[in-house]
Structure 1
Amino acid sequence: MTTHSDTELDDDVTLHADVETYYEDGEWHTRRCDSPDAFASGPSRVRMIAIGVEIARWNGLCHIIRDPDGTVTEVNRYTTGPYPSRSPATSTRR
């Protein structure tokens, strides 16, 4: 996994309090980008992505999904509101 000491990610994706799902040490993890610690970990990529989507959706954040090699494969942006949409406001796949 690539660590980020600054606030810029490749391809102009800005990290602040966004949510990131990544693979490290044989497990999938989901964390807020402003924290070094994962709030969810497990063997299932799909489950960790689902948890990341829910947190991003509830908070109107961006959800960044990485491949096991650390490459950003998908970026989804969610908006807040009284009834947040289950679908991202914008989505980018690489």
Structure 2
Amino acid sequence: MFGLSCPTPLLSLTYRHIVDMEQGGGRTVAKGDVRTYYEGGQWKSGVDGGARASHVGGTKAEQSAIGREMARERGVEHRITRMDGAVTQQNSYGNDPESSKG
């Protein structure tokens, strides 16, 4: 866009967010939870129900950081899976039900 390149996916996410804000925002935010998963030989992060991953490549740790930021921005849950698909970590960043007195 401006001829700048970003050395890591996490910096790229931050850069895109800043550019979007400078251009007036207006980006539609998906409602689904975010998950970080391994598919096709690469780590990916995306919104559940989306047609494809939002971010691809890098290490599991890098994609986990990207997925965590995506979930925080959306106020949804973030699930991180192992290579075999089993969920190893799940964090919620909003929309939690109020605890009831029991």
Task: Confirm or deny a common fold (TM above 0.5).
Answer: yes
**Alignment-mate amino acid for residue 84 of structure 2:** D
1:39 aligns with 2:54: yes
Kindly indicate which of the two structures has a greater share of residues assigned to helix. Answer: 2
C-alpha distance in 1, partners of 2:81/2:87?
A: 4
Q: Which runs of 4+ in 1 moved over 3 A?
A: none
Unaligned runs of 5+ in 1: 1-15, 81-94
CA RMSD of aligned residues (A): 1.5
Unaligned runs of 5+ in 2: 1-30, 96-102
Q: 1:27 aligns with which of 38, 42, 46?
A: 42
- Identity over aligned residues, as a percent? 38
* Partner secondary structure for residue 64 of structure 2: helix
Given candidates 90, 94, 99, the residue that maps to 1:79 is 94
CA shift, 1:64, in A, is 0.6
Q: TM-score, normalised by structure 2?
A: 0.60
Larger Cα Rg: Structure 1 or Structure 2? 2
State the distance in 2 between where 1:17 and 1:34 align.
Answer: 7
Higher normalized strand content (fraction of residues): 1
Q: Secondary structure at the match of 1:46?
A: helix
